[in-house]
Chain A
Amino acid sequence: MNPENFLILAAILFSIGSVGVLTRRNALIAFMCVELMLNSANLAFAAFAQMHGNLDGQVAAFFVMVVAAAEVVVGLAIIVMVYKTRRTTSVDDANLLKL
């Protein structure tokens, strides 16, 4: 199978993720879209590793997974706290830092 197809799939997934971040108000959905973008990047890394025949891309993908796992912990905790105090997870309502 042509490896470029993987890259096209990764680009499609990344676009879906970014459009989701930009359009959805629910923080959880936006968060899931961010994860989608990260994983599209992972897919691209794995594809590149396959294309170049070395392990650099796979190592980078592991790093991304570790960072994503850590980020999820912090991000979900923040979303839960915001929901507890404001009874909403809409990102448009979280605008208190505006002057």
Chain B
Amino acid sequence: MFLLETIHPVAGTGMFANAWWMIAAPLLVAAILLIGGRMLDAWGHYLAVAAIWFSFAVGACLFAEMWGRPVTERVVESHLYDWFSVGAWSFPVGLLVDPLSIVFVLLITGVGGLIHIYSIGYMAHDPRRRRFFAYLNLFVAAMLTLVLADSYLILFVGWEGVGLASYLLISFWQERPSAAAAGVKAFVMNRIGDVGMVLAISSMLAMFGSVRFVDVAAGAAALEPMWATLIGIFLLVGACGKSAQVPLQAWLLDAMEGPTPVSALIHAATMVTAGVYLVVRSHAIFEASPVAQMAVVIVGTVTLLFGAWIGCSKDDIKKVLAGSTMSQIGYMMLAAGIGPAGYAFAIFHLLTHGAFKANMFLGAGSVMHGMNDDVNMRHYGALRKAMPYTFYTFLMGYLAIIGIPPLAGYFSKDHIIEAAFHANLIAGVCALLGAGVTAFYMTRLMFMTFFGQERWEPGVHPHESPKVMTVPLIVLALLSIIAGAVMNGWIQGWLEPAAGNHPHEVSLIPTPIGLLTIVVVLAGVALGWALFGRRSVPTTAPASSNPITITGRNDLFADAINDIFVVQPTGAVARGVATFDHNGLDKAVDSSAYAFGGLSAQVRKLQTGFARTYALTMVAGVVLVGVVLILTHLA
């Protein structure tokens, strides 16, 4: 058994010294595409795709190299240069390639590469396609910086980079006011999380004198419990912002205003899972503080239920998937909060989720592509004949997410539910319930989209998407099928050097809890079929007085709550300050100006323009001086 504490990073040599190319290539291409101008419009996107696959190739080589190394030498740290130093603190820039970051690299570049290919077709008619690909490459570079960083500071650089790329891509169709507003909303809510990150990094600097992962992990065990809890909570706030966890979840649903490949890559597969990565990467801190761990579990559990709740009540296909993403990340958070038993499962679910959720988002994009960009599922129906590739690939994603064995989601989610039951009965029951609800809303989505009656809007002629879009779908569907079974027995041992977890025996045969999960999932599917498969679906959402439905349709009133508790108080303070500024400061400054103006108007009257008056003044002055001199002389 190897714990992180016993494994020291080895210096990056050979192939590992070239790891920075993975970040540099997409960054360089992003710069070229943005600076190059219109002459790159015709072929710039091929350059972008090539950059991502180049990064993937480098990542795959590193993975192969790491595979061949003994376990103790798999954590490789390569120092690039020294950024800056202040007093006793110095901030080197380095890359940490370890089993945890390398699977992220493969996920980001692999799924990202497929989504890039898909985007060639999806964005074919967009006049700003070159800029879109530049932003996507910028995102990939930032995301790779985030996962390859060897210190919290470098991680934060990537963290902000993905935030910027997310903002740019959500509001990519900037001519739509809703998209522009959604971008701003995501950006602002992420800043709240960033405050947590900055506080965490500052606290680490104060406590450990370093923000490198190895130093923090080494010092965490000896940390005072209060500080461990504080740093853990700060990190959790950062993770909540980036991963759209309650209470900072409201931006994710609006983020669906962005182009669908963006939703698939950033808001499903990679960026929103950065919070989970952060928690797992900081596991030493969380292990030092049971309170912070419990907070992570609570946040994860609440979010997985809230996300599922939203997923049940939305008619917008992308928002259903967004709610589902929230919910699945809640599962990952829950697993990451459980402790060493859950880290590997959190990452496992993250990887499988990255595959099947990207698959479903791209499938939704393919459906929208054929339906004139209509996202309302009530206008779909019976699309399985019109879009066979999309249907079958989506079906694989669907079976994977609800957890039908032996598809990917079954293994990863089942492990989390089981670990949750071992850790905490309430969390376990909630996770089990969440699995049932997931099955329900995904079944609803399937039936409303691909089965039932045709409810198409007039003039809409659904058609299958071009090959450049369906091929990535097929690859992702294959991953949705096999990823779970392939990684099931391997992932725990692989992550051990990085995540400090202890492998448990996992079997391919369902345990009692696994069987219970399958029963709950089938019940959810049956309910979904009974409500949406058997009956016909009305083309407008029926009015409902059910408070649960109303709450779900309104995103759990998250915007209203934010409005009451954050926006309105802030606005009131701002208005108060403005009133004071206007009536207090401005009036004071203005009135003193008026006073001086009036005074000078009086003084000005002395200037008559008559030279003789001036002469008289001078004579009077001279006489006065003379009199004073004489008087003082006499005295």
Can you list 16 A-B pairs, Cβ within 8 angstroms, ordered by A?
A: A21-B612, A21-B615, A21-B619, A22-B612, A23-B612, A25-B612, A91-B610, A91-B611, A91-B612, A92-B611, A92-B612, A94-B611, A95-B609, A97-B609, A98-B607, A98-B608
In angstroms, Cα B608 to Cα A81, docked, is: 22
In angstroms, Cα B413 to Cα A28, docked, is: 110
- Whether A95 and B610, one on each chain, are in contact in the complex, defined by CB atoms closer than 8 angstroms, is yes
Any B CB within 8 A of the CB of A18: yes
Any B CB within 8 A of the CB of A96: yes
By beta carbon, the residue of chain B nearest A25 is: B612
In angstroms, Cα B610 to Cα A98, docked, is: 9
Any B CB within 8 A of the CB of A73: no
Any B CB within 8 A of the CB of A99: yes
In angstroms, Cα B610 to Cα A80, docked, is: 19
The 3 closest A-B pairs by CB, nearest first: A98-B609, A95-B609, A91-B611
Q: Supply 10 further A-B pairs (C-beta < 8 A) apart from A92-B610, A98-B608, A98-B609.
A: A18-B619, A22-B612, A22-B616, A23-B612, A30-B611, A91-B610, A94-B611, A95-B609, A96-B609, A98-B607
Shortest distance in angstroms between B139's beta carbon and chain A's nearest beta carbon? Answer: 65
By beta carbon, the residue of chain A nearest B615 is: A21
- A22: B residues at CB distance < 8 A: 612, 615-616, 619
What DSSP secondary structure best describes chain B's contact surface? Answer: helix
In angstroms, Cα B615 to Cα A21, docked, is: 7
Please provide the chain A residues from 16 to 32 with a CB less than 8 Å away from any CB of chain B in the complex: 18, 21-23, 25, 30
Shortest distance in angstroms between A13's beta carbon and chain B's nearest beta carbon? Answer: 15
Please provide the chain B residues from 585 to 607 with a CB less than 8 Å away from any CB of chain A in the complex: 604, 607
What DSSP secondary structure best describes chain A's contact surface? Answer: loop
Shortest distance in angstroms between A92's beta carbon and chain B's nearest beta carbon? Answer: 6
In angstroms, Cα B604 to Cα A22, docked, is: 22
Please provide the chain B residues from 393 to 424 with a CB less than 8 Å away from any CB of chain A in the complex: none
In angstroms, Cα B616 to Cα A99, docked, is: 20
Shortest distance in angstroms between B627's beta carbon and chain A's nearest beta carbon? Answer: 15
By beta carbon, the residue of chain A nearest B623 is: A18
By beta carbon, the residue of chain B nearest A94 is: B611
- B607: A residues at CB distance < 8 A: 97-99
Please provide the chain B residues from 476 to 518 with a CB less than 8 Å away from any CB of chain A in the complex: none
Tell me which of B604, B607, B612 has the highest count of chain A C-beta atoms within 10 A of its own C-beta: B612
In angstroms, Cα B604 to Cα A97, docked, is: 12
- B612: A residues at CB distance < 8 A: 21-23, 25, 30, 91-92
- B610: A residues at CB distance < 8 A: 91-92, 95
Tell me which of B604, B607, B610, B616 has the highest count of chain A C-beta atoms within 10 A of its own C-beta: B610
Shortest distance in angstroms between A50's beta carbon and chain B's nearest beta carbon? Answer: 22
- Whether A99 and B615, one on each chain, are in contact in the complex, defined by CB atoms closer than 8 angstroms, is no
By beta carbon, the residue of chain A nearest B622 is: A18
By beta carbon, the residue of chain B nearest A23 is: B612
Shortest distance in angstroms between B221's beta carbon and chain A's nearest beta carbon? Answer: 81
- From A18, A30, A95, B608 is in contact (CB under 8 Å) with A95
Shortest distance in angstroms between A28's beta carbon and chain B's nearest beta carbon? Answer: 13
In angstroms, Cα B612 to Cα A95, docked, is: 11
Question: Residues 67-104 of chain B: 1 if any A CB is under 8 Å from the residue's CB, otherwise 0?
Answer: 00000000000000000000000000000000000000
By beta carbon, the residue of chain B nearest A19 is: B619
Shortest distance in angstroms between B463's beta carbon and chain A's nearest beta carbon? Answer: 81
Please provide the chain A residues from 43 to 90 with a CB less than 8 Å away from any CB of chain B in the complex: none
In angstroms, Cα B608 to Cα A92, docked, is: 10
- B619: A residues at CB distance < 8 A: 18, 21-22
